[in-house]
Amino acid sequence: MHMQTEQIRLRHMKTRLLLNQISKFIFMLSAFFGLFFLAVLLVRVVTEGIGSINFGFLTGKLSTQPERAGIMGAILGTFWLMLVVAPVTMFVGVGTAIYLEMYAKKGKLVSFIQTNISNLAGVPSIVYGILGLTVFVRTLNLGNIVLAGGLTMSLLILPIVIVASQEAIRAIPFHLSEASYGVGATKWQTIQRIILPAALPGILTGAILSLSRAIGETAPLVVIGIPALLIPFPGSIMDRFTVLPMQIYYWTLDASLVSEYANLAAATIIVLLVTLFILNATAIIVRNKFQRVF
């Protein structure tokens, strides 16, 4: 009798161990799935584009002639765009999060706003482009300048920044603000001196990650109407501009006219990937540096 149960247990042990191995294998596969395609993309892009990357390409002006085409204009355009997007989203995004988490009374209005923010995060980016075209480019008559593009991109990433900031604020232990109120601090003093410093790593991580989304986004700018050929460098947020992903888009399409454009597009992808990598690395460093354990 005793022997029998022992055998059953052993038999079960085998299936359990097998199941254990299989599940490990399945999860490993899913982990490598993304990695595999990333590797394919990288190999393809690098082999196609690395030959086109040189000093002249990085610092030169745009051109219809592949041998003298450069992407400094697109790099500067991306830079100016970020100069609009970063402050606008930081201010409005963190402001919204503070209001929702610290001031607003939990009720119908807050849950209404909350639901809408979550919904906005799922709206396709091209819809933001149509919104930007109607409001900033046409109604406010800004034209297709950096400011209009930047405000459109800000709208696009605001929901992400708001949600990330809310999470960061919510993660702060209650006793910190309680103690602050306890020694007589006002709400604003508490936010300013306790909440924001403690939530900063989380907020910055969210903001930087959403900025890298804005850098790579094309659809809203296609709608706003970024010129296919724009040679002068943008010098301020009131200038017309082009950005790295738009250049990739146009060069890929025009590869049917000039086959060397495919290499230029690949080279631009490399530049864009390096930019994104630097941004994401910054996000990680910022998080690690300022992370505190309460």
Partner 1 sequence: MKVNKFLLFMIIAAFTALIAACGTESDDTKKDDSAASKTPENNTAAAQETETEDLEGSVVIDGSGTVYPLMARLAEEYMINEQEGVSVEVSRAGTSAGFKKFLVENGTDFNDASRQIKDEEAAEADKLGIEVKELKVALDGLTFVINKDNDWANEMTPEQLVSIFLADGNVEKWSDINPEWPDEKINAMGPNENHGTYEFFYEKILDKQDMNSNVNLQQEYSTLVNLVAEDKNGIAFFGFGYYVNNQEKLQAVGVDFGNGPVEPALDTIAEDGAYADFTRPVFTYLNVNHAKEKPQVRDYAIYVMNNINKFAGETGFAPIPETEVQEVISFLEGLK
Closer of 113 and 290 to partner 1 (Cβ)? 290
Query: Which structure tokens are listed for 34?
Result: 């993304």
Q: How far is the CB of 182 from partner 1 (least distance, A)?
A: 16
Closer of 38 and 284 to partner 1 (Cβ)? 284
Closer of 114 and 143 to partner 1 (Cβ)? 143
Q: How many residues does the chain have?
A: 294
Q: How far is the CB of 245 from partner 1 (least distance, A)?
A: 16
Determine the 3-state secondary structure of 145 from DSSP.
strand
Closer of 5 and 65 to partner 1 (Cβ)? 65
Q: What's the number of CA atoms in the CB half-sphere (13 Å) around residue 24? A: 6
Q: 145 near 241, Cβ under 8 Å?
A: yes
Q: How far is the CB of 256 from partner 1 (least distance, A)?
A: 4
Q: How far apart are the first and last CA of the chain?
A: 55
* Residue 1: Cβ-neighbour burial (10 angstroms; 0-12, 13-18, 19+): exposed
Closer of 120 and 237 to partner 1 (Cβ)? 237
Residues near partner 1, by CB under 8 A: 63-65, 80, 83-84, 86-87, 90-91, 141, 192-194, 196-198, 200, 225-233, 235-240, 252-259, 290
Give CA–CA dist 229/242, Å, rounded: 9
Q: How far is the CB of 147 from partner 1 (least distance, A)?
A: 9
Q: How far is the CB of 132 from partner 1 (least distance, A)?
A: 16
Kindly report each contact of residues 250-257 with a partner whose C-beta sits within 8 Å and lies 24 or more positions away, as own/partner: 254/228
**φ, ψ at 145 (rounded to 5°):** -100, 175
